[in-house]
Each structure stands twice: as C-alpha cells, then as structure tokens.
A and B are shown apart, each in its own frame.
Chain A
Amino acid sequence: MIGRFNWAGIIDFLPQLFTGLYYTLLISVIGLLIGFILGAIFGLGRIAHNRIIRGISIVFIETIRGTPVLVQAIWIYYALPLIIQFELGSVTAGIIVIALNSGAYIAEIVRGAVQSIDQGQMEAGRSLGLNHGQAMRYIIWPQAFKRMIPPLGNQFIISIKDTSLLSVILVPELIFQGRLIAANHFNAVEIYTTVAVFYLAITLTLSFILQRMERRLDI
C-alpha cells in the first residue's frame, strides 16, 4: 500500500537535526582545513627531490585512496586507540578521518596544479636569485592555487557528504540524528528527505562561494 508524506510534527525534530547539522559542519570545516594543510604538504612532498619525502608521500596517498572511508573511520575509532593507547572521542576520530581522507585527494590536486604551471616560471624566478622555496611561495603557488579551486570545490563537496558515514562511529551528525528520530517515530521518509535538503543547503552554499571566488581570482 502506498501512503503519503506526513509532514505533521516534523518541525518538532528540527532542533535535533540542527544539532546534527552543527556536527556535520564542525567536522567538515575542521577536517577540510587540516586536510588542505595535509594535502599541501603531501602534494608538494610527492614531487620533492628528496626520495624519502617522496616515498612517504606516495605511501600516504596510496594507502588512503586505496581504502574506503568507512573502513578508515572504523579503523581510526576502534583500532588506532589500541595502538596509541589513548581513547579518541567519536567527533575527534571523525575529524581525523575527514582530514586524512581529504588530505590524500587534495595532495593529488595540489600536485597536479603545481605541475601544470609552466616550468619557465620556476626558471625565471630562480634566474633572478630566488631560492627554490621563495620561487615556490611567490611565483608557483599563487598561480597553482587558482587552478586548484575547481577541483578543491569538488573534493570539499565529496568530503562533506562523506561525513555521513561517520554515523557508524557514533558521531552525532545529520544522518546519525535522522536515524535516531526515524527509529523512534517511524517517519524515515520525511526525516531523510529533510536531511537531504540540509545536505543540499550546505553544498549549494559552498558551490556558490567557490564560484564567486573563482570569478574574483580570474584576472
């Protein structure tokens, strides 16, 4: 039998969903911030002259890219504490998962963008007496960063949606709250529809911001 949507009372659950939204945003923002830093480090490390640095970067990138986020979440929440002998809260674990996971993908974005800058730019900088680091910082990076923005936006959106998997390690984010409500009130259809709208609101806002940024940086 096909029934119909029943939106009555959904408003009562909004505060709880907003709590979920708060954690989704918290983990996304902090996770992606750290992820970008990791991505910059490993992305540049991936093309470093030093073999050891390059090796470490490749191992990191390939390990993370080669395993599912879900496995990473479970491993960091349950297995990592056994190794470091230190209990991680689920939110902390969630942030680590998003940071590491996005970090590996962002590393490849960074590498691609840096390598796409014409070699003559580095040569011009070096020929003026700038050292490698200065040339990277003042000449290559600003140009590469501009090229990173579209793929970064893509990765940010993917990572934001990946936070939904963190419900399995008990992070009280959107999906976790939704499931809780649905289990108690038998309104899964309405709740998950609302949750979908919440995700859309986040990702569309982000797309909009990135689009404006792209336009502003396009000289």
Chain B
Amino acid sequence: MITVKDLHKKFGDNEVLKGIDCEIQPSEVICVIGPSGSGKSTFLRCLNMLEPITSGEVIVDGYNLNDSKTDINIVRTEVGMVFQQFNLFPHKKVIENLMLAPQKVRKITDKEARERCLKLLEKVGLADKAEQYPQQLSGGQQQRVAIARALAMEPKMMLFDEPTSALDPELVGEVLEVMKQLANEGMTMFVVTHEMGFAREVGDRVLFMDEGVIVEEGDPEQLFSNPQSERTQEFLNKIL
C-alpha cells in the first residue's frame, strides 16, 4: 500500500527525517511513537505530501509522490487524514463539512452525498449533530466528525496525526473507540500517537522514532514488553 525508501526531509538546514524506510501492507495498523521533535508528524505529513519530500521515494497506492507527473490531488482522495486540531470548517454545518469534498472532488449528487454522510455520522455516533456547527460540539465529538469527514471520500487508508492529543482526558476514549472500530473493519491506518494502550491493543506494528530515524519497530507486545534499543527503553520508562 505504501512504500517508503530512504526518505529525507529538510526544513532549511535542519534535517528532520534522516533516511526512513518503511513498508505498509493493506489493512495494517501502524502506530508511530516517539518523543516530540522526533519527526513522526513530519513523516506522516510526507505520506500525503502536506510536506514536500526532500529526497527519497514515497509510493502510495502505486503513485510515486516525488514524480512531478503525479496528480497529488488524486492521491489525497485515497488517503484520508485526521489532524490533532481537528481542523473542521467552522463556517459549515457538520453535515456540510462531510459533504464538501465528495461533492466538489468526486462530483456526486447532493442527495447521494447527504445519504452517504449521514450514514457516516451515524457510524461515529453523531447523526443527531448533523445540522449543528462544529463549535457547538465537544472536542471528542469534533474529532469524530473529522474522522467521518475523511471517511466520506471513501479513502483506501487513513493517516492520524496525534488525534487525541488536543482532547480532555475523558474525551479520548470515544475517539479511540471509533478508530478501533475502523481498524477492525480492515482500514489501513497510520497513527502517530501518545496513546500506548491503543498502540498495544490495536496496532499490528509499532514504530519507535527518534531524531529522524526509525530506531526500532515490531510487534506491539514485544516492543513494549521487551524493547531492544536503549533509546526505546528510556522512552518507554519515562512514559509508562
């Protein structure tokens, strides 16, 4: 589904990603953990070209992102993204947030879009909020709307950039629940997270990143209970 080869990313002189190799299979749930500033979010943002790649190769669903002939807008329709700050459109009602992209990009009819989006809102448990504005919702509800909005494009995979980090602790559960459900349905997921419980329970594979490289990766159970690298041990000791 995604192949990453020797990915480098620089902001000016500052090299944030220093050679990343990674392979993601369909239906796999990858969780990325690591200290802040380790480059996990940048890595994620390179996968849908929100950050342009400095060098290396990223192939998503057969599209080479570094090829100037690739229409990035087409790739993005296949890759849903959920942001830490939700980034819902405040001037649009919840249902309109979901309907915008299917209508304008997929060009489906108003009626079809509405039906599809209402179903998705039902799925995330917010069908009754369709006609409200995002700011009338709690953080957890907003993030669930954001997930539904990404799903409205019927993407082949989903990127989650610290989806629960901006939430009050008691609202984290409802968002993770939706993500878990999605994983169980077989969605390919790439999740940057600080929720170790989620990574352990739902992740098929965990990547530990530090200073722009993947230090260690493996089965969650194994990585959490028996980390091989010293840096992984140190990190896990601090947070667990």
Contact = CB atoms under 8 A, between A and B. Distances in A.
A219 B83 contact: no
Given A123-B50, A219-B133, A130 B87 contact: no
A68 interface: no
A143 interface: yes
Contact of A126 (B50, B89, B91, B104): B50
Interface of A, secondary structure class, is helix
Interface residues on A, range: 10 to 19
B189 interface: no
A80 interface: no
A128 B150 contact: yes
A146 B79 CA distance: 31
A66 interface: no
A120 interface: yes
Nearest to B75: A129
A47 to B, nearest CB: 18
B144 to A, nearest CB: 15
A128 B72 CA distance: 11
B27 interface: no
Contacts of A129: 73-74, 76-77, 101, 105, 153
B100 interface: yes
A117 B150 CA distance: 21
Interface of A: 118, 120-121, 123-131, 134, 138-139, 142-143, 146, 219
A124 B83 contact: yes
Interface of B: 48, 50, 73-74, 76-77, 79-81, 83, 85, 87-91, 100-101, 104-105, 133, 149-150, 153
Nearest to A141: B91
B89 A124 contact: yes
Contact of B105 (A121, A124, A128, A139): A128
B91 A142 contact: yes
Contacts of A139: 89, 100
Contacts of B100: 128, 130, 138-139
Contacts of A142: 91
B74 A123 contact: no
Contacts of B88: 124
Nearest to B72: A126
15 contacts: A120-B85, A120-B87, A121-B87, A123-B87, A124-B81, A124-B83, A125-B89, A127-B50, A127-B81, A127-B150, A128-B80, A130-B104, A131-B73, A142-B91, A219-B133
